[in-house]
Amino acid sequence: MRLRVPLDKAYRLLNHGPTVLITTAAEGHRNVMAAAWIMPLDFSPPKVALVIDKLTYSRTLLEASGELVINIPPRSMVDQTLAVGSISGRDLDKFNELGLKTMAAEKVTPPLLSNCIAWLECRLIPQPQLQQDHDLFLAEVVAASANNLVFREGRWHFGENAQRTLHHVAGGHFLQIGDEVEAKEP
Amino acid sequence: MRLRVPLDKAYRLLNHGPTVLITTAAEGHRNVMAAAWIMPLDFSPPKVALVIDKLTYSRTLLEASGELVINIPPRSMVDQTLAVGSISGRDLDKFNELGLKTMAAEKVTPPLLSNCIAWLECRLIPQPQLQQDHDLFLAEVVAASANNLVFREGRWHFGENAQRTLHHVAGGHFLQIGDEVEAKEP
């Protein structure tokens, strides 16, 4: 079941470095891309930083609307996660092409990907120079939610492999997240 | 054995989102801190972006010298990774306090942590406004190396748990990286 994640805990959805799927929408068009270059930027209000290449259609939509959704895909979506990077949303609707089901977001226009395990709805913090020089975008998280089978009470609870987060290395090569490790209090 | 990683493959050391240890040095002082908020920013020349809080002594040293080393700790260093965040380097030498052995870097002054599994030597790309407003730092990677037991030929080859990367969630709670997943070519 999808449950809201308190905004001050939203950074924990990204803190362990998963690869994500970014959805965008503007003027009746929508798109989805994969991104591994993303990190939390602040706790409260929660912010994120991410890299989006100039050549992507997602960037056109993001700069037009100022909104994005960060969707966290589980291992079961590994083929779709690779595939969204191999075709351009300028030419066709990737959601239909790849069978990606969507749900409405709470606060922004881009859709949530139904088969993902966590979602961060974001509004751009415009940084024109940074975007131009380094393809670097800052955004504020305005709503967050997660599948309570894998994230609840501020922590990930990974069980079966199919629901574990993906961590991209290069090409079609990913790692899945593994077991919990508790550090000894110093 | 520590082997050089070609600069155009250096992003692959960070692409899967590990938590890192940052070493800094200036004017005869040195320090180490943990950072989970870090990501690649460009392929070639390789660049990174990371968040460093205003209150840290590491930031004082980084802003004085413009140099840092990103050390990637394996699971065997989980207690030290938590501990470096619980004491301040203003008051004592954390390396001595925590038994962290070091080696000389190739191109910068901050030391490499000997028991880590990969190292990125970096020079700051000054962004005064960004550093002030968002605690966000950009840096260029000028040398990279890795333990060839776990990273070789541009890929991670994780075996025993003790050598797997750590991925911080919150407090003393970490996840270790898991198994490889190959996506089907679309």
Question: Which residue of chain A comes nearest to B125, CA vs CA?
Answer: A134
CA B12 to chain A, closest CA, distance in angstroms equals: 6
Cβ distance B130 to A130 under 8 Å?
yes
Q: What is the mean pLDDT of residues B30-38?
A: 98
Which neighbouring-strand residues pair with B67? B123
Task: From chain A, pick out residues whose CB is under 8 angstroms from the CB of B15.
Answer: 36-37, 167-170
Task: Give the per-residue pLDDT at A186.
Answer: 83
Which is nearest to B124 in space by CA: B39, B81, B65? Answer: B65
Which residue is closest to B51 within chain A, CA to CA?
A41
Euclidean distance between CA atoms A146 and A17, whole angstroms: 16
Q: How far apart are CA A184 and CA B36, in angstroms?
A: 18
The chain B residue lying nearest A85, using CA atoms, is B186
User: Confidence band (pLDDT; 50, 70, 90) for B20?
Assistant: very high
3-class SS string, B38-100 = EEEEECCCCEEEEECCCCCHHHHHHHHHCEEEEEECEHHHHHHHHHCCCCCCCCCCHHHHHCC
The H or E element spanning position A70 is strand A67-72
Give the integer Cα–Cα distance in Å for A172 and B181.
8
- Count the residues in chain B: 186
Q: What is the average per-residue pLDDT within B17-38? A: 97
Residue of A13, A76, A136 to mutate, testing the B interface (most B Cβ within 10 Å of its Cβ)? A136
Tell me the torsion sign for CA atoms A73, A110, A172, A92: positive
Q: Which of chain A's residues have a Cβ under 8 Å away from the Cβ of B181?
A: 75, 78, 166, 174-176
Phi/psi of residue A146, each to 5°?
Answer: -155, 155
The answer for A153, left when phi > 0, alpha when psi is -120 to 50, beta otherwise, is: left
**pLDDT of residue B85 exceeding 90:** no
Closest CA to B13 of B24, B1, B25, B4: B4
Question: DSSP of B22-37, one letter per residue?
Answer: EEEEETTEEEEEEE--
pLDDT computed for residue A86 by the predictor: 85
User: What does the pLDDT look like over A88-119, one tens digit per residue?
Assistant: 888 899 999 999 999 999 999 999 999 999 99
Closest C-alpha to A57, from A82, A36, A84: A84
Contact A36 B51 (CB under 8 A): no
Show contacts of B128-131: CB within 8 Å, 24+ apart: B130/A130, B131/B63
In this structure, chain A runs to a length of: 186
ipTM value: 0.97
Give the one of A17, A181, A184 whose C-beta lies nearest to B176's C-beta: A181
- Residue B124: is its pLDDT beyond 90? yes
Mean pLDDT over the full length of chain A: 97
> Mean pLDDT across the stretch B22-47?
97
> Is-contact B113 B76, C-beta < 8 A?
no
For residue A52, what pLDDT is reported? 98
Percent residues over pLDDT 70 in chain B: 100
Spatial CA neighbour of B112 closest among B6, B27, B4? B4
| Average predicted confidence (pLDDT) for chain B | 97
The model's pTM is 0.97
Is A17 in contact with B36 (Cβ distance < 8 A)?
yes
Question: pLDDT by residue for chain A (186 residues), tens digit each?
Answer: 999 999 999 999 999 999 999 999 999 999 999 999 999 999 999 999 999 999 999 999 999 999 999 999 999 999 999 999 888 888 899 999 999 999 999 999 999 999 999 999 999 999 999 999 999 999 999 999 999 999 999 999 999 999 999 999 999 999 999 999 999 988
Query: Mean per-residue pLDDT for B90-102?
Result: 94
